[in-house]
Copies of this chain bind each other. A is one copy, B any other.
Amino acid sequence: MESKDFKITRLGTPRIKSPLRRQDFVADGATVAYDTDAKVLTKYVTDNQEIPAFELAGPREKIFHDPAWSKAAILTAGGICPGLNDVIKFLTSTLIRHYKVPVVYGIPYGYRGLDPAYGLSPIMLTEEMTDDIHEQGGTILGSSRGGVDSEIIVDTLDRMGINLLFCIGGDGTSRGAHDISIAAAKRHLAISVICVPKTIDNDIAFIDKSFGFESAVSQAGFFITGAHAEAKGAYNGIGLVKVMGRDSGFIAAYSTLANSFVNYCLVPEVPFTLEGDGDRALLPNLEQRMAKKHHAVIMVAEGAGQDLFETGGDEVRDASGNRLHKDIGLLLKDRINQYFKKRNIEINVKYFDLSYTIRSVTAHGADAVFCAMLAQNAVHAAMAGRTDMVIGHWGDNFTHVPIALATGQRKKIELTSPLWSSVKSTTCF
């Protein structure tokens, strides 16, 4: 952790009295230490080093932007995720009700909505129109992926007089926001660019939890119960469940642990082979289990086992003969069937692709509370003149995280972590 930079960019000195109530203010200079072990923490001090720490999020007594002169814009980019509308709703209500910001634009279809070439008009967001949007999945603003010329966007922000930009999206979106904040700074435009990080995969570095993740995991549980019913209902039944998780298997791991019907949990972080006699040879292990128990549930993250496609070359094709996106779920389904067919063992594989189904639900319970508080802290950060940052969460606190730090690497399941130990302890290998 030596060289990580936790420093947040500020647009200038906050001089305006916040309209919020006094007792809620966070002390300037409050932090959240990155480490938790007392010995490690002590050593920093005895070594005369600063304890590495995030800036604590929250409302400040003095703010930078004058609400009366402010205009805000909110956009969502990337795939949908539970809680997007909760975040939009609470950004809007905090800006309007608490800071009395007079104008809040909803930007349609992500960054595209800020590029005049697309001819998309912004929506005026009000408290009334966002009052019950948290009861819908997806995003009322629409989303899009990809390409953003930060100069064009800053042109638009400048022209529209927007000084508060909220970007809800993933890694790409955050990097775009970083470029925008740099470009704005070069033009001496005092625009706060704040990201609310979105990833159904829960894989943002330096942030311990991302919104929507828990609602998606809850939802997955429902299907795992179904896959288990299918597996037990047929002779030698196998329920094969694919979830999202391109680079990290948090959804798969949490879903496995939350629903102890899962017997195999395959994630990108942990290699496995199909055949062979290694510890993690899936099919021989599965064969043993079928002989004993006659049913099994397999959970696979979409990014798992990508090495298995190497040799297979172009055999995975779609209906039109185009190469498939290397769908590990379909590959597993085929290989399992071949393996047992060759051995003359009847099996019945039922395949459940949950990719979209668990991300289009609404956020609920504590996850919805998390969305609300992320949004409120994003507004506090913006009003206080912070920029080029994402709202994070560490331990039990909301934090300010520089975009460069959050996007510098991706969080993965550590194989020595309590999470993976727990997963291993409830599964077959």
Contact A143 B233 (CB under 8 A): yes
Contact A41 B37 (CB under 8 A): no
- List of B residues within 8 angstroms of A364 by Cβ: 218, 221, 258
**Digit string of A405-426 for contact with B (CB within 8 Å is 1, else 0)?**
0000000000110110110111
A23 to B417, CA, bound (A): 9
Cross-chain contact of A137 among B51, B225, B260, B366 (Cβ < 8 A): B225
Q: How many residues of A contact B (CB 8 A)?
A: 119
Contact B232 A138 (CB under 8 A): yes
Within 280-335 of A, Cβ neighbours of B (below 8 Å) are at 312, 315-322, 324, 327, 330-331, 333-334
Question: In this complex, which of A136, A254, A327 has the most chain B Cβ atoms within 10 angstroms of its Cβ?
Answer: A136
**Digit string of A345-378 for contact with B (CB within 8 Å is 1, else 0)?**
0000011110011001100111111001100110
Question: In this complex, which of A31, A142, A229, A259 has the most chain B Cβ atoms within 10 angstroms of its Cβ?
Answer: A229
What copy number does this chain have within its complex? Answer: 4
Cross-chain contact of A334 among B24, B235, B320, B396 (Cβ < 8 A): B320
Whether A3 sits at the interface, judged by CB under 8 Å, is no
Q: Which of A60-68, A92-100, A270-278 forms part of the interface with chain B?
A: A92-100
Cross-chain contact of A143 among B219, B234, B324, B426 (Cβ < 8 A): B234
**Digit string of A134-147 for contact with B (CB within 8 Å is 1, else 0)?**
11111110111000
Contact B131 A260 (CB under 8 A): yes
Contact A235 B135 (CB under 8 A): no
